[in-house]
Amino acid sequence: MPTYLGVDPGANGALCFLDSRTRVTKFLPTPRGDFSPMALRQAIKAQRTVSLIRCAAVEKVHAMTLVSAGSTFNFGYNYGVLMGVLQTLDLEIDLVTPRTWQKSCQIPTRKELGGSKQLKEYVARLAHDLYPTASLYGPRGGLMDGRSDALMIAHWLKKTMEY
């Protein structure tokens, strides 16, 4: 059975490996600080030795208005590094817009929920309900940014590939 790889490429994003048989999840951070692109590549390569990963779903991102140039640069850099690492491993990459995976998972829009914070909380609750053993929260109970989106992107990929 394959493992699905979901990627939230944000500055505080994450990668999520979702085992389709056991429903076990494993998370990696996006490249930053002491977690370099090479460390990311090695971690994905190591995961491939224990499970079959054919495809990665990466959230398709774009520039946003009213966001600083520095933030936009860092976001774009992260996205480029992730795409490069996945391509060097010969993984098929499926770019998916946030609205596509959210709609498929029956997640209401940001506007319907009342804002970005509410959307983030809704996605986290849904991810926790579907995968209660996934480590989405830190030691003090705060949501670990990027993990719930990465998990739900992996869930979307699983739904897409298995149906």
133-136 long-range Cβ contacts below 8 angstroms, 24+ apart: 133/23, 133/24, 133/25, 134/16, 134/25, 135/25, 135/27
Whole-prediction pTM: 0.91
158/62 Cα distance (integer angstroms)? 24
Query: All domains of the chain, ordered by start, with CATH?
Result: 3-162 (3.30.420.10)
Percent of the chain with pLDDT over 90: 67
Percent of the chain with pLDDT over 70: 90
Whether residue 68 is predicted with pLDDT greater than 80 in this model: the reply is no
pLDDT of residue 103: 96
Whether residue 81 is predicted with pLDDT greater than 60 in this model: the reply is yes
More confident: 99 or 32: 99
pLDDT tens digits for range 53-65: 979 999 997 655 6
Whether residue 153 is predicted with pLDDT greater than 60 in this model: the reply is yes
pLDDT of residue 77: 80
Whether residue 122 is predicted with pLDDT greater than 60 in this model: the reply is yes
More confident: 51 or 67: 51
- Mean pLDDT for all residues in the chain: 89
- The bridge status of strand 55-59 relative to strand 3-8 is parallel
